[in-house]
Amino acid sequence: MLLKADLHVHSTYSDGKASPQEILYTARERSLHVVAITDHDTFAGSVVARRYSNTAQDLPLVILGVEVRCDEGDILLYCEREVDFPRRVDALIEKAHAENCLVVPAHPYDIMRLGIGELVLSYNDWDAIEVWNASATRGANLKAIKAAQVLGKPGLANSDAHIPEEIGLAYTYIEVEDLTLDSVMEAIRRGRVKPVYRSRPLNVTLKRVFWSIKRSARSSTRS
């Protein structure tokens, strides 16, 4: 069966607008079968989402995730359970594989948003590359597609949603035998994926910009 997955979404546990529950309902509306909530430096949003998805019918499968701010840039980590994450890329890759997690550089060529840049080519043990990020520039995404080809790695397309309107904007088809987390993780490792490249429409970009301004104004009045 072919599953539709968005594996890069932010919730209220970092700088996203939607709660984990809202993300799951929106993802279901958009016909997503699998979601990874990947808040900055915390698994908390995805842990809440998984707990919630297990109690309700027909909600998407939740992969535990985190977007780790490494010294070198942002890296996505997908795991079966919460793990500690080192802040250096080489140590993170080693830890990820020891824990059976997947390790994927986020928007590698979007330097403004802390992609790791050309360093992506210095490591050959990524499980996949985020080749399309709906929030990144087309130029940055094209370079990421090339890097995945050079390294011979599977490519993922994700929304990097911070507001509900962005969820599922870009997504990846994953071919699995059955609808289980194990099968999804294994299918990504084996490259049974097809990223769908879609960019963010202008009206959604404006909403996202508005949300970022509102959020930073809110956090500066708090501090």
CB of 4 to Zn ion, least distance (A): 19
Q: Which is nearer to Zn ion, 14 or 21 (CB)?
A: 14
CB of 175 to Zn ion, least distance (A): 25
CA distance 217 to 211: 10
Q: State the number of binding residues for Zn ion (CB under 5 A).
A: 2
The reply to whether 130 sits near Zn ion by the rule CB under 5 A is no
The reply to whether 166 sits near Zn ion by the rule CB under 5 A is no
What does the per-residue mask of binding to Zn ion show for 54-93, with x meaning CB under 5 A?
Answer: -------------x--------------------------
CB of 92 to Zn ion, least distance (A): 16
Asked if residue 213 lies in contact with residue 17, where contact means CB atoms within 8 angstroms, the answer is: no
The reply to whether 110 sits near Zn ion by the rule CB under 5 A is no
Which amino acid would we find at residue 5? Answer: A
Complete DSSP assignment for 151-163? HT--EEEE--BSS
Asked if residue 103 lies in contact with residue 123, where contact means CB atoms within 8 angstroms, the answer is: no
Q: Which is nearer to Zn ion, 66 or 96 (CB)?
A: 66
Q: Which of residues 17-36 bind Zn ion (CB under 5 A)?
A: none
CA distance 125 to 82: 21
Report helix angle 44-55 to 20-29, nearest 10. Answer: 60
Provide the β-strand partners of residue 37. Answer: 9, 64
CB of 123 to Zn ion, least distance (A): 20
Q: Which is nearer to Zn ion, 38 or 183 (CB)?
A: 38
CB of 8 to Zn ion, least distance (A): 6
The reply to whether 160 sits near Zn ion by the rule CB under 5 A is yes
The reply to whether 127 sits near Zn ion by the rule CB under 5 A is no
CA distance 156 to 7: 8
Q: Which is nearer to Zn ion, 1 or 111 (CB)?
A: 111
| Closest residue to Zn ion, based on beta-carbon distance | 160
- C-alpha distances out from residue 101 to 39, 95, 149, 182, Å: 16, 8, 22, 11
CB of 182 to Zn ion, least distance (A): 25
- Copy the structure tokens of residue 99: 């824990």
Complete DSSP assignment for 87-99? SSHHHHHHHHHHT
In the complex, the residues that contact Zn ion under the rule CB under 5 A are: 67, 160
